[in-house]
Amino acid sequence: MTFPAGLLGVLAAATLAAGVHARWGRGCVTLGIYTLMAEVGFWGGHWLAMRQGWAWGRWGPLALGPGLLVAAAVTGLVAFLLYLPPEDEAARPGPPPPGSAGGP
């Protein structure tokens, strides 16, 4: 792989991570997490496509399509897991806990 192709892969994954952060990010830490996961997903997808011999989404020596697809899946999963709201005691169905207002 050439240096420009590697740089394009890094920039493509970082751009995807920045887009996810712009939509669901909460701070600088999440931007770092999204960027790391996008890079891991992109290069994992690139490696898988090269290993399997897939030709779709290729741009020179870089498997851009599969890399971006896997990066989006990994980053989206991480964003979903980080975006889950904390469980609220009052929103839970069932009887109220003992000693609370409205309890026996």
Tens of pLDDT, residue by residue over 74-98, are 999 998 888 776 666 556 666 666 7
User: Cβ(45)–Cβ(70) under 8 Å?
Assistant: yes
Q: What is the pTM of this model?
A: 0.77
pLDDT tens per residue across span 25-58: 788 888 999 999 999 999 999 999 999 998 898 9
User: Cβ(71)–Cβ(42) under 8 Å?
Assistant: yes
- Tell me the domain boundaries of the chain: 27-82
The set of residues, in sequence order, having a beta carbon less than 8 Å from that of 32 and lying 6+ positions away, is none
| Whole-number Å distance between alpha carbons of 102 and 81 | 33
Of 16, 57, 62, which is closest to residue 35 (Cα–Cα)?
A: 16
Helix boundaries (H) for 1-104:
3-24, 28-52, 64-83
